[in-house]
Amino acid sequence: MSDSVRVVNVDDIAEVPVVENTMRWKPVRRTLGIEAFGINAYVADAGAWVVEEHNEKPDDGDGSGGHQEVYLVTQGHARFTVNGEDVDAPCGTFVFLPDPSARRSAIAVEDGTTVVAVGADPAKLFRPSAWEYSFAAQADVARGDYAGAAATVRQALPQHDDNAHIHYNLACHLARAGEHDDAIAELRRAVELEPDRIRALAGKDQDLDAIRDGDGGLPL
């Protein structure tokens, strides 16, 4: 095969369990090395999220990229909810969300439901969303390789150093990996960026137990 074309079957892309293992992510963009837009596939069985509840506003702290998105149901049947409105989406349905602030989610109606999502910010040169690095790190976490997970999340820092979500997840992986000083530094950076949200998340997060003091407090 020439270097000018890259081909992969969606079935051959390894699934990464994400969102508390309620859905499986297929990292299409990372697999093919696409740089111009975001594209990923998600798989779930009946009753589970195949698109987790979120919006694409970049200032909401979940790593979103401010993208317009279009979803295509390529297998099975999904039921979307967009700003409280239900949208039935059998196989072959496109669902386009031009407004990044729209709150969206989708539940699989049938086992093996697969949704492909394509997105980009029409006003900016594309950059991968911060959440993608956190999702990719879950493959390392599943193997118990927290140092590897930290290395994966660190790849986001050149473009997302101002994202509290990235620094917080990096702190969690570093704490699990035994790199306590670095974990504390990353947690403090996350608190600096979003103090209220990060303090609330960190309060009972077992990933950070290794850097707590004897009273359960964190060095913030």
In a domain, 147, yes or no: yes
pLDDT for 215: 83
pLDDT of 217 reads 86
Q: Tell whether 3 is covered by a domain.
A: no
**Are 101 and 24 part of one and the same domain?**
yes
pLDDT value at position 129?
87
Is 15 part of any domain? yes
Give me the amino acid identity at 88. Answer: D
- Single out the residue in 120, 150, 185 at which a domain terminates: 120
In this predicted structure, what is the pLDDT of residue 58?
78
Output the domain CATH number for residue 55.
2.60.120.10
Q: Using an 8 Å Cβ cutoff, are 188 and 198 in contact? A: no
* Matching residue, tokens 């496109």: 94
Res 2: pLDDT: 59
Residue where a domain terminates, one of 120, 155, 172? 120
Which pLDDT score is estimated for 127?
Answer: 83
Total domains in the fold of the chain: 2
Domain final residue, candidates 101, 120, 139: 120
Tell me the sheet residues that pair with 26.
41
pLDDT at residue 126 in the model: 83
Give me the chain's average pLDDT, please.
93
pLDDT at position 63: 66
Q: Which residues are CB-neighbours of 169 under 8 A, at least 6 positions away?
A: 134, 137, 153
* Strand ranges for 55-198 from DSSP E: 68-75, 77-82, 85-90, 94-97, 104-108, 113-120
How much is the pLDDT for 100? 93
Whether 148 and 113 map to the same domain: the answer is no
The helix/strand/coil state of 141 is helix
Q: Are residues 137 and 115 in the same domain?
A: no
- Alpha-carbon distance of 132 to 177, in angstroms, equals 21
Q: Is residue 4 part of a domain?
A: no
What domain range is 39 assigned to? 10-120
**Residue 5 lies inside a defined structural domain of this protein:** no
Residue 164 lies in a domain: yes
Instruction: Tell me, yes or no, whether 194 and 161 share the same domain.
Output: yes
Res 61: pLDDT: 59
Do both 174 and 106 map to the same domain?
no
Q: Is residue 158 part of a domain?
A: yes
CATH no. for residue 138? 1.25.40.10
Low-confidence ranges of the chain (pLDDT < 70): 1-2, 59-63
Residue 163 lies in a domain: yes
* Nearest partner of 134 among 110, 163, 166, judged by Cα: 166
pLDDT score at 192: 96
Nearest CA-CA partner of 97 in 114, 82, 111: 82
Rounded distance, CA 99 to CA 178, Å? 42
65 and 147 both lie in a single domain: no
* Residues 115, 206 within the same domain: no
